[in-house]
Structure 1
Amino acid sequence: MKEVTIVEVKGMESFANNGLVPRPNDVRVEFEEPSRSAPVPSEEGAARIATSLRATARDLGFAEPLTPWQEREAYRVIWDKDGIQVDAVTPTGLRHGTAAAMQLQAPALGTRLTILDRPEFPWRGLSIDVARHFFGVDDICAIIDIAASLRLNVLHLHLSDDQGWRIEVPEFPELVERSSHTSVGMDGGGFFTTSDIRTIVDYAARNGLTVVPEIDVPGHVNAALHALPGLSPTGTSPDPYTGVEVGFSTLSTQAELTHEFLSAISRTLMGVDVGPVHIGADECLATTRDEFDALVSQMASHVHSEGRSVVAWQEGASHLKMGDFVQLWDERQETEELAAAGRRGVKLIASPASRAYVDMKYSEEEALGTTWMGTVELRQSLEWDPRTIAPAGIEVAGVEACLFTETIRTFDDLTYMLLPRLAALAEVAWAGSGVGEWASFLPRVSHLAQLWQKEGIRYHCSPGMQ
C-alpha cells in the first residue's frame, strides 16, 4: 500500500489560494503519486463533475451530528487525478457542492483535495430594493445566479416604497396603473406581473433560493397613497414622490380602505412563495404609537392566520411570535423589544447597516451609494460575528445583505455595490463569523474577482485585492 500524507487545513492558511468563498467547514489535502493533471471544471466541461446522493451526513464523512437543515445543505467535494466528485444528501447540497467545485482552482499535481462542508446559519440572504429604482426579471435572475454561487438561500425583494409600487395586486390595479412609473429622480419605473413573479420564484427555486417578498407598511407608503385616495382619511392623494427622504408617509386606521388594503396585499405576498412574508414596519416617523401597533398587528395577523411566518424590521419586534423573524438593521436603536421577542421564540436576522448595507459607499470619493451610516469597505463586511450584535436571549437565524437603490440605476451599478462585499457577507453567513479571516479571505476573493471579470460582471476592487 502506498503511503498517503494527510494534512488537516485549519484557518484556511494553506488553502487560501484555492479560491473558495465562502470558506468551507473542513478541508483535507492528501499527497499521492502523481499520474496526470487534475481536470478543471468549466461551464463547457461541467460533465466532468460527477454527482451522487447519499443517505446521511455520516455517509459524507461528518463525524458530528448535523441539524436536519444543515444535513440538507451539506456537501462533499473530492478532487483528484480521476476527476471531481460531488456528494450530498439532497439536491440542494449537490448544488452547493457543484458551485464550490466551479470556484476552485485545480489542486497541485498528485494532490487529492477533499472538502467537507455545511453552513452555520439557515438564513443567508440578499435583499434588493426594486422600489426606488426598478430592476426587471432578467436583472433579478442574474443576481440570483451570483447569490447562488455564494451559497445564499434567500432573496428578499423590497417591492414598495414612497417612490414606486412594483407588484400587481388583483384587488387594486390602480397601484401599478398609477404608481409603478416613478422612481428616485424620475428615472423611469416598472412592475412585476404575476407571470414575472412566477418566473423569478421558479428560477430562484431551481438555484436553491426562497423568495421573501416585502411590502413595507405602515410607513414608506406614499406610492400606495398616491394610487388609492381611500387610504387617506381625507380622501385625497399626495403627489408622486421621487426624492430620498424617509419617514413622512403613513397608513391610517381611520381611512376607509385600510383594512381591505392590508388584507389584499397580505394575500398577494403569501401567493409569491411558500416561505416567510416580510411586512416592513420600519421608520414610521409619521405614525403614532397606537396607530403603529394597530396596523402592524393587523398585517401580522393576516399572515399568521394562514400559518405563515412573519419577518419585520426591528421596530416591529413586539408584534412577532414564535417562528417569526426580526431583522436588525440599526444598532443604535434600543434592543429591549428584540430581547423580549427572542424570549417568545422569535429569531434574529442580522443586517447591521455598518456591515451589511451594501448601498453604503465604499469610500467618501465614490459616486455611488449613501453615507448615513458612514462608509463600508470590504473588511468591515467580513470581520464580524453576528452573534456578538444580538441581544442576550435571541437566537441568530442568519445574515442578510441589503442593497437599497437610491443611487443605483443600472445593473452594473448593482453588481459594483454588491461585489465583493456580498462575498464577505456570504462567508459570515455560511461560516458563522469572519473575525480573523482577512488574510485568508483576500486571495480567495481575488480569485473570485477574476471569474467575475471573465463573466463581464462589474465589481469594486477593494484595497488588498489583486
Structure 2
Amino acid sequence: MTQRRTFPRLRLLGSLLLVVAAGITGIGAAPGGAAPGGAAPGGAAATPGVRPLGDIVPVPASARPGGSPYTLTARTRIHVDDDSREARRVGAYLADLLRPSTGYALPVVDHDGGTGGIRLRLSGREAALGDEGYRLESGRRGVTITARTPAGLFHGVQTLRQQLPASVEEDTRQPGPWRVAGGTITDTPRYAYRGAMLDVSRHFFTVEQVKRYIDQMALYKINKLHLHLSDDQGWRIAIDSWPRLATYGGSTQVGGGPGGYYTKAQYKDIVAYAASRHLEVVPEIDMPGHTNAALASYAELNCDGIAPPLYTGTAVGFSSLCVAKDITYDFVDDVVREIAALTPGRYLHIGGDEAHSTSHEDYVTFMDRAQATVVKYGKTVIGWHQLVGANPAEGALAQYWGLDRTSDAEKARVAAAARNGTGLILSPADRLYLDMKYTKDTPLGLSWAGYVEVQRSYDWDPAAYLPGVPASAVAGVEAPLWTETIASSAHIDQMAFPRLLGAAELGWSPAATHDWETYRQRLGGQGPRLEALGVDFYRSPQVDWRTE
C-alpha cells in the first residue's frame, strides 16, 4: 500500500485497534474477549460504533468504563491552562492531528473554568502519575486529560487518539462520528526506558525518514530513539575536528551506493523533533570494533598506519581502533565531546559489541577510558552487554542482545553485573530484533537469531527473562532494527510493524495485563488504523486482522 502521509506534519501512525473488547478493568486484561458490539471491558454494555475504553496499545494500567461517550463536533474546542506553554504545544499537536479527518476547526483556547470540549490539564499535585503518567476522563460533556508533566499529557493525547475511529488518521475529511467511550483511564508506565533503535549506518536514512519513524514510535508511548550512527559500512554524523569521518567514511553503505551523513544542523533537527514528541535521542558511536568507516577515513587510527578500503559487506568483528595509540583517545574525546554537545539527553551509547579483533586486555583498557570520557562530558554510559566484561561505570546501562541459547556463563556475567548495580536494557535478538525474519518466507531480514513471529516477539516477561537478575535492575526494553537488508521506509514498515507495538506494550503496560490472547485481539483491530496511516505492515497469520 502506498504511503500517503508526510511525516514532518506529524501524522503517520495511528493507533490501531478496532478490536474486540478485551476486558480491561482495574489493572489486568481478562483472558479472551467479546466480539465487536458485545460486552465492553468490565462487563458494561458497549455503545455501538464506539471503541471500548482502554482498547488500545499499549494497554493501560486501569480502564474503568462508565457513562455516556463524548462526541467531537464542529463546536469542540481544546482547552488549556492560560499559563501553560507546554500544554498549549500539546494542544496544538492534537488539533493538527484531528483537523484533516474531522474537518473541524478545533481551536486551542485558554480554559475558562467551564466544562465541555477537550481539556488538557497540567497539575503538579498529581504525584501518583509520575513523570509520564496521565488520567483521561470522558463523559457526555467532554474529555479531560490530566498529567503532572508535559510528557504525561502527550501520552494521554495518544490514548485519546487511539480511542477514536481509525479513520481519524486519514488526511482527508471523513464522515465520523467521532466518539470517545465514557469512563476513566489512569495510566503510568512499567519501565522508564522504552526504546527503538534505527541503524542508519548499514543503510542511510534521511532526516524525513527518521522523523516518520519518530512519529510512529510516539503513538505507542516509546520514549527513546537509539540512533546507531557509526559502523564498518558508514559514519553518519559530522564531526568538525575529524571531518573525513562523514565526508569519506559516510560515502557508502551496504551493497554500495552513496550513503550519506547528517550535518550538525540536521542532527539537531532530529533531536528537536524527537523532543517535540517527548522522545529522547540516544546516539551510538560503536567502538572499539565496528569501526572500519573511521579507520578508512584516518590512517593514523590504525596500528600499522595504513587505512583499509571502505567496506560495503555485512561481516562483523574484523575491525578495531588501535588501543595502544594516544591518538585513539584524542579521537574518542573529540567525537564524544562534539556529540555530547549536540545531544541534550542523558545517554551516550559506546557500543562495545563484537570486538573480536581486540584482545580482552585491550578491550578492558579501551572501554574503561572511553567510559571515563563519556562521564567527563556529562553523559551516562550505555554499551552492549559485552560491556560487563570490562568495568561498567557507575550508573551505566548494559544492553543485552543475547538469545535463549546464549551460554549460561555469559548470562551469569550479565546477571552478576546487574546485581552489582549495572542496569539492563533488554533487547534479546530472538525476541526484539526487528530485522529478524518472521518466517522462512519473509523476503527481508536475517535469520541468525531464528525466526521471530509476532507471538514470540511479545510473549515474554522482561522482569523474569534473565536468571539471577533482580527485577529492579531492568531499566526497560528496546527493539533494534538493523538495516543490512532494510533500505527504505517501506522496508521499515514491513519489519517493524506489528512487532514494534508488542515491544511498546512490554515497556509500558503492567505485568498483570500481559496476555497473548487479549493482546492479539487488540492487535487485530489495528489493521484499519495502520492502513489509514499508509503503513504496509506484515499481516501475521497469528492475528485475525479486522476491518473497520
- Give the TM-score taking structure 1 as reference length: 0.90
Spell out, residue by residue over 1:421-441, the C-alpha distance to the aligned partner (whole angstroms, 9 max, x if none).
000000000015498522222
Preserved contact between residue 27 and residue 512 of structure 2 (Cα < 8 Å): no
1:92 aligns with 2:151: yes
1:366-405 → structure 2 map (5 Å cutoff) = 366-394=442-470, 395-405=473-483
Aligned partner of 1:286 in structure 2 is: 357
Closer/same/farther in 2, CA of residues 405 and 108 from structure 1, 3 Å limit: closer
Letter of the 1:43 counterpart: L
Higher RCO (C-alpha under 8 Å, 6+ residues apart): 2
Structure 2 equivalent of residue 423 of structure 1: 501
1:52 to 2:121 alignment: yes
Which AA in structure 1 matches 2:365? A
Aligned residues of 2:146 and 2:153 also touching (Cα < 8 A): yes
Aligned AA for 1:366? T
Matched to 1:55, the amino acid is: G
Tell me how far 1:233 sits from its aligned partner. 1.5
1-structure distance, mates of 2:196, 2:497 = 12
Q: How far off is 1:110 after superposition? A: 11
- Aligned 1:204-283 pairs, distance under 5 A: 204-255=274-325, 257-274=327-344, 275-283=346-354
Any conservation in 2 of the 1:103–1:448 contact (CA below 8 Å)?
A: no
Between the aligned partners of 1:158 and 1:433, the Cα distance in structure 2 is 30
Q: Quick check: 1:39 aligned with 2:72?
A: yes
1:465 match = 544
| 1:408 matches 2:486 | yes
Whether the 8 Å CA contact 2:401–2:428 is kept in 1: the answer is yes
1:20 is aligned to 2:56: yes
Letter in 1 for 2:71: A
Deviation at 1:370, TM superposition (A): 0.3
CA contact (8 A) 2:70 2:181 kept: no
What CA distance in whole angstroms lies between the structure 1 residues aligned with 2:332 and 2:178?
Answer: 59
Which AA in structure 1 matches 2:443?
A
Aligned equivalents of 1:9 and 1:410: distance in 2? 39
Secondary structure in 1 matching 2:494 = helix
Match runs of 1:57-76 below 5 Å: 57=126, 66=128, 71-76=130-135
Aligned equivalents of 1:422 and 1:266: distance in 2? 30
Partner of 1:121: helix, strand, or coil?
Answer: coil
Selected match of 2:136 from 64, 77, 82:
77
Measured after TM superposition, the shift of residue 324 of structure 1 is: 1.2
Deviation at 1:346, TM superposition (A): 1.5
Paired amino acid for 1:312: G
Aligned letter for 1:289? H
| Residues 382, 424 of structure 1: 8 Å contact kept | yes
Q: How far 1:111 sits from its partner (Å)? A: 5.7
Matched, 1:135 2:205: yes
In the alignment, which residue of structure 2 is the partner of 1:63? Answer: none
Q: How far 1:323 sits from its partner (Å)?
A: 1.5
Q: Distance in 1 between matches of 2:519 and 2:314?
A: 35
Q: Is contact 2:400–2:428 with CA below 8 Å preserved after alignment?
A: yes
Match of 1:308 among 367, 379, 388: 379
Kindly, what percent of the aligned residue pairs are identical?
A: 35
Deviates more, 1:41-50 or 1:234-243: 41-50
Once the two structures are TM-superposed, the CA of residue 8 in structure 1 deviates from its matched residue by 5.1
Q: 2 CA distance for matches of 1:209 and 1:172?
A: 29
> 8 Å contact 1:137–1:196 — kept in the other structure?
yes
Contact kept, 8 Å, 1:321 with 1:341, in 2: the verdict is: no
Report the AA paired with residue 98 of structure 2: E
Displacement, 1:238?
Answer: 0.8
| Cα drift, residue 195 of structure 1 | 0.1
Q: State the Cα RMSD in Å.
A: 2.4
Q: Give the 3-state SS of the residue equivalent to 1:155 in structure 2.
A: strand
Match of 1:344 in 2: 420
Change (3 A) 1:307 1:459: same
Q: Match for residue 223 of structure 2? A: 153
* Residue 456 of structure 2 is aligned to residue 456 of structure 1: no
Structure 1 CA distance for aligned equivalents of residues 70 and 126 of structure 2? 30
Q: Is the 8 A contact 2:64 2:185 kept in 1?
A: yes
Q: 1:326 aligns with which of 384, 398, 401?
A: 398
Residue equivalent to 1:3: none
C-alpha distance in 2 between matches for 1:414 and 1:219: 26
- Alignment of 1:187 with 2:257, yes or no, is yes
Q: Aligned with 2:452: secondary structure?
A: coil
In the TM superposition, what is the alpha-carbon distance from 1:336 to its structure 2 partner?
3.3
Which is worse superposed, 400-409 or 412-421? Answer: 412-421
How high is the TM-score relative to the length of structure 2?
0.77
Q: How is 1:188-203 mapped onto 2 (pairs within 5 angstroms)?
A: 188-203=258-273
Using the TM superposition, give the Cα deviation of residue 235 of structure 1 relative to its aligned residue in structure 2, in angstroms.
Answer: 1.0
Q: 2:119, 2:524 → 1: CA distance?
A: 27
Letter in 2 for 1:425: A
Q: Deviations over 1:196-247 (max 9, x none)?
A: 1110111111111110000000000111110010011211111111111111
Secondary structure at the aligned position of 1:212 is classed as: strand
| Mapped partners of 2:270, 2:180: distance in 1 | 43
**Contact 1:133/1:187 (<8 A) preserved:** no
Aligned to 2:14: none
1:330-381 deviation digits (Å, cap 9, x = unpaired): 1314123323322332110000001110000111101100000011111111
The residue that corresponds to 1:11 in the other structure is 29
Q: Which amino acid aligns with 1:173?
A: P
Name the SS of the counterpart of 1:186 in structure 2.
coil
Partner of 1:358: 434
- Tell me if the contact between 2:231 and 2:292 (Cα under 8 Å) persists in the aligned partners: yes
Q: For residues 62-91 of structure 1, give each alpha carbon's deviation from its aligned partner in whole angstroms, at most 9, with x where no partner exists.
A: xxxx4xxx6111101122222222111111
Are residues 127 and 336 of structure 1, via their aligned partners in 2, closer, same or farther at CA, if it must alter by over 3 Å?
Answer: same
Match of 1:61 in 2: none
Separation in structure 2 between the aligned mates of residue 7 and residue 440 of structure 1, nearest angstrom? 13
Could you tell me which residue of structure 2 aligns to residue 175 of structure 1?
245
TM-aligned CA deviation for residue 446 of structure 1: 2.8
Secondary structure in 1 matching 2:98: coil
CA drift at 1:117: 0.3
Residue range with higher mean Cα deviation, 255-264 or 44-53: 44-53
**2 CA distance for matches of 1:8 and 1:240?**
56
Distance 1:140 1:175 in 2: 21
**2:211–2:274 contact (8 Å) kept in structure 1:** yes
